[in-house]
């Protein structure tokens, strides 16, 4: 029996003997990895940089890290790789944590469509696992959960404070869009056509989410943390929206009602809202989601964050599309946001504009100048033709679905990290990057995949 399988069997025996626990740590077991146990009894091995075998096999084990959580690479006994989100809440009041779990239970029960969110994303353990005897009374207060987060309370060896953790087993997607754009900080790796394609995919995801089309009972949901870092690509280059930790189904409430803590990433929220601590401005959660979507498509402050359209690509768009997706004038967005009655919804307007623009690019074989010349007249006519709008959108959805049937070419393995770093450095220098950008890029080089995703080729304009 291999050491790999023997370690899984040891973990399985531990969880069989101690069903109240959801994690077996390295210190407790003497193994080189920690293991977590899902509600249905499936074991997941958490890969570790301290394990020489893991470090030699995988370039990147820590997939991402934020203020509230980190995402690590996990593996099942049959070798399937998954992403495991580990959230740690220090000194949190139990009541607020229970309310958080209750909200997550509701969100995960509503979301069901496999094409958007994997069923494996969500809460997993039915009850909070209690390790400290004096807190056992809390166990009966937690509601039952039927999804897939592993919850456990631990005495942290490094921190004196009580540490409360929960684990989320998530689908591991092939590419992170933010890292793709970081291949080339100044210009991005996506072509103009690819940026149009991905922007349409994002708008389809968000409009469907906001319209309740991804929920069993048609409940609209807002994500509240839409940004480039939360967009992934599967092996068919289809966009996936991940990390629903801030999601909410009260979409029309004021974002700052009753002193609610501002959710999401500040760069993707208007400064007017951040400054308005008394919630005097009428800016709903839906408004915030639409604003973040547009800023993810194009961020006018690209020194701070990347976006799907980089500046030189944005400059090539028709003026009308620029006006729809540009969030430079933040105060106007707050005062005349797209979800208010009598005001056109900018999310839907952007979807219609870009889906028509993609049609024109295809029609003129990628000639941007020709597409731009005819766009304005075509767009005004397009707005009056509901049947044509539905036809174009449905055709785009059909093509996305059809990608599953395409044979995916087997790519050559990525070069070693050292070779990869030299390649990137020599590639970037001739583009005139600053020393700061070059240093930052080299720091990131270990975590960036060597190859960019392959999109349908379109003839470039002369």
Could you give the CA distance from residue 407 to residue 429 in angstroms, rounded to a whole number? Answer: 36
Give the pLDDT band of residue 352 (cuts 50, 70, 90): very high
What is the per-residue pLDDT for 202? 95
Cα–Cα nearest to 251, from 202, 275, 276, 218: 218
Cα–Cα nearest to 127, from 23, 226, 20, 253: 20
What is the per-residue pLDDT for 130? 31
Q: Taking residues 240-263, what's their average pLDDT?
A: 69
Q: Taking residues 111-131, what's their average pLDDT?
A: 35
Does an H or E element contain 399, and which? helix 386-402
Q: Is the pLDDT of residue 10 over 60?
A: yes
Q: Is the pLDDT of residue 431 over 70?
A: no
Give the pLDDT band of residue 414 (cuts 50, 70, 90): very low
Residue-range domains of the chain with CATH: 3-170 (no CATH), 175-405 (1.10.510.10)
Give the pLDDT band of residue 174 (cuts 50, 70, 90): low
Task: Take residue 156 and report the two structure tokens written for it.
Answer: 């942290």
Instruction: Look at 35-39, 252-256, 444-448 and tell me which has the smallest mean pLDDT.
Output: 444-448
**Of 409 and 70, the one with more pLDDT:** 70
Highest mean predicted confidence (pLDDT) among 91-95, 162-166, 175-179, 354-358: 354-358
Q: Is the pLDDT of residue 67 over 50?
A: yes
pLDDT tens for each residue of 73-112: 888 888 888 888 776 654 344 445 556 556 666 665 555 4
What's the sign of the alpha-carbon dihedral 101, 103, 109, 115?
Answer: negative
pLDDT tens for each residue of 358-370: 999 999 999 999 9
pLDDT tens for each residue of 281-329: 677 888 889 999 999 999 888 765 678 998 889 999 999 999 999 988 8
Q: Taking residues 229-256, what's their average pLDDT?
A: 78
Could you give the CA distance from residue 458 to residue 362 in angstroms, rounded to a whole number? Answer: 8
What is the per-residue pLDDT for 325? 92
Task: Take residue 373 and report the two structure tokens written for it.
Answer: 């010349």
What is the per-residue pLDDT for 411? 40
- Work out the percent of the chain whose per-residue pLDDT is above 90: 19
Give the pLDDT band of residue 243 (cuts 50, 70, 90): confident
Q: Is the pTM of this model over 0.85?
A: no
Give the pLDDT band of residue 140 (cuts 50, 70, 90): very low
What is the per-residue pLDDT for 338? 54
Q: Is the pLDDT of residue 218 over 90?
A: no
How many other C-beta atoms are found inside a 10 Å radius of the C-beta of residue 323? Answer: 12
Give the pLDDT band of residue 240 (cuts 50, 70, 90): confident
Q: What SS3 state is found at 337?
A: coil
């Amino acid at each position: 029996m291999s050491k790999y399988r023997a370690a899984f069997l040891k973990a399985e025996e531990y969880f069989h003997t101690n069903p109240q626990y959801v994690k077996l740590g390295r210190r407790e077991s003497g193994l080189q990895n920690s293991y977590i146990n899902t509600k249905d009894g499936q074991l997941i091995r958490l890969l570790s940089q301290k394990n020489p075998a893991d470090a030699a096999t995988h370039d990147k084990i820590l997939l991402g890290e934020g203020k509230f959580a980190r995402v690590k690479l996990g593996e099942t006994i049959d070798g399937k790789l998954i992403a495991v989100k580990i959230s740690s809440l220090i000194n949190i009041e139990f009541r607020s944590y229970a309310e958080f779990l209750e909200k997550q239970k509701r969100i995960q029960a509503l979301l069901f469509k496999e094409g958007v969110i994997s069923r494996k994303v969500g809460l997993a353990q039915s009850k909070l696992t209690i390790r400290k005897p004096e807190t056992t009374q809390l166990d009966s207060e937690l509601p039952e959960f039927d999804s897939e987060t592993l919850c456990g309370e631990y005495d942290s060896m490094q921190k004196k404070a009580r540490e409360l953790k929960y684990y989320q087993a998530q689908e591991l997607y092939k590419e992170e869009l933010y890292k793709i754009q970081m291949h080339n900080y100044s210009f991005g790796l996506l072509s103009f056509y690819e940026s149009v394609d991905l922007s349409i995919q994002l708008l389809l995801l968000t409009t469907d989410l906001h319209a309740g089309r991804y929920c069993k009972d048609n409940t609209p949901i807002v994500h509240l943390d839409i940004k480039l870092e939360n967009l992934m690509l599967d092996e068919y280059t289809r966009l996936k929206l991940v990390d629903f930790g801030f999601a909410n189904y009260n979409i029309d409430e004021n974002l700052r009602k009753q002193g609610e803590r501002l959710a999401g990433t500040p760069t993707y929220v208007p400064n007017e809202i951040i400054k308005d601590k008394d919630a005097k401005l009428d800016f709903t959660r839906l408004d915030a989601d639409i604003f973040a979507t547009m800023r993810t498509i194009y961020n006018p402050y690209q020194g701070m964050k990347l976006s799907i359209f980089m500046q030189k690509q944005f400059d090539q768009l028709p003026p009308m599309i620029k006006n729809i997706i540009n969030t430079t004038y933040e105060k106007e967005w707050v005062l005349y946001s797209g979800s208010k009655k009598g005001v056109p919804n900018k999310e839907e307007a952007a979807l219609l504009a870009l889906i028509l623009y993609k049609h024109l690019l295809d029609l003129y074989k990628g000639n941007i100048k020709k597409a731009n010349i005819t766009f304005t007249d075509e767009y005004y006519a397009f707005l009056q033709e509901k049947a044509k709008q539905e036809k174009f959108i449905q055709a785009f959805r059909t093509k996305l679905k059809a990608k599953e049937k395409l044979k995916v070419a087997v790519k050559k393995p990525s070069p070693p990290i050292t070779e990869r770093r030299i390649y990137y450095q020599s590639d970037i220098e001739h583009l005139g990057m600053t020393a700061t950008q070059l240093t930052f890029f080299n720091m990131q080089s270990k975590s960036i995949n060597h190859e960019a995703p392959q999109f349908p080729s379109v003839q470039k304009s002369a």
